[in-house]
Amino acid sequence: MTSISDLMAESLRLLRLKGIETSRQELRLLMACALDIAPDEIYFYDKDLTENQLVKFETFIGQRAEHCPVDKIIGHRGFYKYDFEVNCHVLSPRPDTEILVEEAAKIVRQNNFTKILEFGVGSGCIILSLLADVPSLEGIGTDISEKALETARRNAQRIGVEQRIKLMLLDWFDQDILQKLGCRFDIIVSNPPYIPSGEINLLDREVKDFDPLTALDGGKDGLRDFRKISGLAGQLLKPEGYLLFEGGENQADKIADIAVGHGFNLLKKARDLSGIERCIILKK
């Protein structure tokens, strides 16, 4: 019988041979899921794998060999302080996005804000993290995908904030979006699709084959949705309200210019852990 550590080492070798970037930590997550235990428990697990567990683990390695990201194989991912359900209907939460949550949480606390709106929630990782951090906050999240909204609803329950969020099926290009959203907000956050259409093909397979295209494709120059959302935000925010965007590499200045053109003031561009200006903070 092969030991768990031999099996993991062999799988890691196999995946690397196929050119799949995989870490030991990822292997541990896949093995823990196959064994139905917490990842840390692997170190103390001294039983042999059952036939079922082995088949499950080998299936996972097969999926990973086809470039499926680990979170989409095991169905969840840690982001910021919480753990979210993830599937093929939502963009996988990225560590790069945590800076947006950190900055938004600071602003919400400092100003005692109570009303937040997120355009394009996907899994819900941004707005739900903020609601979980700040118990006095309530909000609305939109998405154009019913399946994404279902995922976000389950995530709201998973982290216990479902009473304070309304999730709405809305397209920000709808004519009547302002009427549908109705009330005014203290803060609006969004990580809209921002990859230029012509660059989608250059993305890693983990991204282009497994994240929804609607969450990635930002039109010809990648900035289409920042233009639209900046215009809406100006009308939906209270005076002195905040608008926080996530953008792609080298987009921060262009995004800031767009929002400034809609009457916002640029307060700050915050860098992610790789040093990229990822989060653009604007005030009405």
Q: Point out which residues bind ligand GLN (CB under 6 A).
A: 91, 94, 191, 193-195, 207, 216
CB of 271 to ligand GLN, least distance (A): 14
CB of 88 to ligand GLN, least distance (A): 15
CB of 250 to ligand GLN, least distance (A): 12
Q: Return the residue nearest ligand GLN (CB atom).
A: 194
CB of 127 to ligand GLN, least distance (A): 15
Nearest residue (CB) to ligand GLN, 64 versus 278: 278
CB of 98 to ligand GLN, least distance (A): 12
Contact 108, 114 (CB under 8 A): no
Q: What is the rounded CA–CA span in Å between residue 35 and residue 69?
A: 19
Nearest residue (CB) to ligand GLN, 53 versus 197: 197
> With the CA atoms of 70, 74, 76 and 80 taken in that order, what torsion angle do they form, in degrees rounded to the nearest 10?
-40
Residue among 273, 139, 120 nearest 194 (CA)? 120
Radius of gyration of the chain (CA): 20
**CA–CA–CA angle 139, 273, 186 (5° rounding):** 20
Nearest residue (CB) to ligand GLN, 86 versus 216: 216
- Residue type for position 188: I
Nearest residue (CB) to ligand GLN, 11 versus 230: 230
CB of 141 to ligand GLN, least distance (A): 15
CB of 100 to ligand GLN, least distance (A): 11
Task: Please state whether beta strands 237-246 and 185-190 pair in parallel, antiparallel, or not at all (unpaired).
Answer: parallel
CB of 157 to ligand GLN, least distance (A): 25
Q: Which two tokens stand for residue 138?
A: 């309530």
**Using N-to-C axis directions, what is the helix angle for 51-65 and 24-35, rounded to 10°?**
140
Exposed/middle/buried for residue 102 (C-beta within 10 Å: 0-12, 13-18, 19+)? middle
Contact 277, 252 (CB under 8 A): yes
- Residue type for position 60: F
Nearest residue (CB) to ligand GLN, 193 versus 241: 193
Nearest residue (CB) to ligand GLN, 7 versus 99: 99
Nearest residue (CB) to ligand GLN, 91 versus 188: 91
Nearest residue (CB) to ligand GLN, 94 versus 153: 94
Contact 237, 117 (CB under 8 A): no
Q: Which two tokens stand for residue 204?
A: 């890693």
Residue 217 CB-half CA count within 13 A: 11
Phi, psi angle pair for 126, to nearest 5°: -75, -60
